[in-house]
Amino acid sequence: MEMHNPAHPGEIVREECLKPLGLTVTAAAEALGVTRKTLSDLLNGHTGVSPDMAIRLEKVFGSTADTWLRMQMQCDLWEARQRADTIKVNRRFATAPRRASRKRGNNGSSSGRFSPFLVEGTCRQACQELYLALMVR
C-alpha cells in the first residue's frame, strides 16, 4: 500500500496544540523547557521530534511520546521513499528477503522473539560477507 505524504509533527504541534490553546511560540517553548528557536525549528519542519522532545510534548500536551516518535518516523520514511531511487546499495550483497528463524524455548515453543544470530540461508551468508568486506577496509 502506498503511503501518503504525512504531516510533519511540527505542523501537528502548531495546528492541534498551540492554536487551540492560544499559545504563542514563546509561551509554548517556555512550557516545554526549550528555546524559542528550538520550537520554531520544529514547527517549521526544519528539525524533527527527538526522543527528549517527544517526552516534553507528552508532558505538556498529553499525547504519548511513542505517538510523537511514530509520527516523526512516518514523516522520515515518506521522505526517504521519495528519494529511494537515489539510495545506492552494493548489489553484491543484496539477497531475496527471508524470514529469520524464531528462537525456541526449552519446551520447543516459539518465544516470539527474533534473534539476529538465527538468520538463515543466503541472508546470513551475505551478512557475513559484508561484515568481512568491511573489516578488510
pTM above 0.85, yes or no: no
Q: Which residue has the higher pLDDT, 50 or 110?
A: 50
The cell numbers describing 116, all together, are: 539476529
- Residue 10, Cβ density class (10 Å: 0-12 exposed, 13-18 middle, ≥19 buried): buried
Is residue 47 a contact partner of residue 37, using CB atoms and an 8 Å limit?
A: no
Start-end of CATH 1.10.260.40 domains in the chain: 9-85
CATH 3.30.70.360 fits 9-85, yes or no: no
d(CA 44, CA 81): 21
Q: pLDDT digits over 50-90, tens only?
A: 999 999 999 999 899 999 999 999 999 999 999 999 999 88
The cell numbers describing 39, all together, are: 520550537
Given a cut of 90, whether residue 3 has pLDDT beyond it is no
Supply angle C-alpha 124, 73, 96, rounded to 5.
25
Average pLDDT over residues 9-31: 97
